Amino acid sequence: MKAALPLLIITSLFAGQAAFAQAKPPMPALAPPGAIHNGAPAANFGEIDSSRSYPDVRSFRKKFGLVIPATNTSMEHELWSLIFANQGSNGLRGVGLHTVNVITPRPKLETEADLLEYQKQFLGGLRSAVDTARLAQPEYMLMGMSLEHILSGIDQIRAPMKEVESHSSLKWATWHDAAPAALKKFGAHRIGLLTPFDKKGNESAKRLFEDLGFEVVTTFGFSCADAMHIPDWAKERAILEYLATDDNKLDAVVQCGTNMSLLEVTEKLEPVIGIPILGINAVTFWHALRENGFTDPLVGGGRLLREF
């Protein structure tokens, strides 16, 4: 990976507003015969100055690569929702996502054999997805998969991520790094887990957070392969009646499963229960943004993005 290039000020993309972007390789010369007008060389147009570097016109501040399972319809939508909700001068204007799918079938995890087969398909397709993502020249990557769903324990989770980070030559935001960073911001130790997983998936998620040093007091899973279809009222009931109860005395509710949307539930219930709700999509994006110098408060993603 090349050393980081100096920042350059982009003044022409938005009238009256300077934005910062990391420099890219110089723009290649136009193909012969250069700019054309009505099929002929454009008179007096000249060359685009190839001595300068030009960022992506839409992602001129930061271009993130996002890798998700092909069946995931929620994570990209939630991240773009946060980007569009924070378009002010101190927000996320000029931040973009380039999303690539890991080709997998719809999850069927009823047996140990099912789990191993899905694990093989996802990890086997991950390198190809990363190679595709790199064609768009992202500067930083996000792992859009709850790896604890298919891998047990922090060591099993870190091993493939170490390999893919080395292969991509890019830094990555992962759930197993983002979640503890977010929990520590709140001084949280006793947590409850909300997931779309079945019993075995919940056990694996519980083990991950115990490996990371947290006390998992209670778990609630929907045993649903199609996490996109879990209605918000069901998530709200699980949080209010089974997780964030007086008896459990939680410091935080933590949600796993990137295909399980939680932004609106988080915004609605955090003021009600009085503790943070940390959904995987918002938290992983928060971690990526903070790692890349975006430190201003953001709206639409709960207390974490507003306060830290």
pLDDT at 33: 75
Distance CA 248, CA 190 (A): 9
Q: Which two tokens stand for residue 268?
A: 């609605």
Number of other residues whose CB lies within 10 A of the CB of residue 23: 14
Q: How far apart are CA 59 and CA 212, in angstroms?
A: 34
Q: Do strands 172-173 and 190-195 pair parallel, antiparallel, or not at all (unpaired)?
A: unpaired
How much is the pLDDT for 35?
Answer: 86
61-308 is classed in which CATH architecture?
3-Layer(aba) Sandwich (3.40)
pLDDT in tens, 254-265: 999 999 999 999
Contact 291, 173 (CB under 8 A): yes
Identify the pLDDT of residue 110: 61
pLDDT at 18: 35
Mean pLDDT, 10 residues at a time, over the chain (308 residues)? 35 32 51 84 80 79 95 95 94 96 70 70 85 95 91 91 93 97 98 94 96 98 78 97 98 97 98 98 98 97 98
What values do phi and psi take at 254, rounded to 5? -120, 130
CB-based contact 92:282 (threshold 8 Å): no
The pLDDT score that the predictor gives to residue 120 is: 77
Q: What is the dihedral of CA 182, 185, 188, 189, to 10 degrees?
A: 80
Q: If you write DSSP's letter for every residue of 246-291 in order, what string do you get?
A: TTT--SEEEE--TTS--HHHHHHHHHHHSS-EEEHHHHHHHHHHHH
Residue 34 CA: distances (Å) to CA of 17, 30, 37, 255, 281: 30, 5, 10, 52, 43
Q: The whole model's pTM is what?
A: 0.85
Distance CA 231, CA 213 (A): 31
Domain residue extents for the chain: 61-308
- 33/53 Cα distance (integer angstroms): 22
